[in-house]
Chain A
Amino acid sequence: QSVLTQPPSASGTPGQRVTISCSGSSSNIGSNTVNWYQQLPGTAPKLLIYSNNQRPSGVPDRFSGSKSGTSASLAISGLQSEDEADYYCAAWDDSLNAYWVFGGGTKLTVL
């Protein structure tokens, strides 16, 4: 059972816009920034979005993040076949002995 809650799956057709949600609590998303990771099949996770809505160098602007209260969202516009991957949200948690917590991951399928 992950501390952050994500839908297990999402899908879209090429060119569409899809969003993936991430729900937490006041001790994590509610009081700290959210990061998103993309994990392509058989590879290591890659930082996609940090500090709620910042993109590391090299990440296309088709990817965007937002946060409101104890929830966050990742949006992917102009969906491409190479976006098919697992996406994870993460945040620091202020609870005792919690530290970094992750969502369970969302598998994005490009139809």
Chain B
Amino acid sequence: EVQLVESGGGLVQPGGSLRLSCAASGFTFSSYSMNWVRQAPGKGLEWVSYISSSSSTIYYADSVKGRFTISRDNAKNSLYLQMNSLRAEDTAVYYCARAILYGPHDYWGQGTLVTVSS
């Protein structure tokens, strides 16, 4: 059974940093590209970042480019999102989701809440 479990969320002040993690199991993690998708409270879904299986290709949404860094450790079956210079508008539940390039996000984690507030 495919499982994605996010962690690392919490309350952070504007301008601060946070690192999210996503632990994957139930599939060959090193063979799949991964994504982060977020959802602000009461709002819709917003794609944040993509990383290919070998980390050779990385994309970011314009809203986070230059502030967020996606990475992965295939030996640890883990996906990460380093978030710097956080803003109030980054407040959201962050989901890790499996998706090949151009394809559907076929499995999602339960999400981790990031709150940016003073």
Contact = CB atoms under 8 A, between A and B. Distances in A.
Interface of A: 2, 32, 35, 37, 43-47, 50-51, 56, 88, 90, 92, 97, 99-105
Interface string B47-82: 100100000000101100000000000000000000
B61 A56 contact: no
Interface in B72-108: 95, 97, 99, 102-108
Contacts of B95: 44-45
A99 B50 contact: yes
Contacts, number: 56
B45 A35 contact: no
Contact of B108 (A44, A51, A97): A44
Interface of B: 35, 37, 44-47, 50, 59, 61-62, 95, 97, 99, 102-111
Contacts of B37: 45, 100
Contact of A105 (B44, B102, B105): B44
Contact of A56 (B99, B106, B109, B111): B106
A24 B78 CA distance: 34
A46 B108 contact: yes
A99 B45 contact: no
Contacts of A102: 44-47
A99 B44 contact: no
Contact of A50 (B47, B106, B108): B106
A92 B103 CA distance: 8
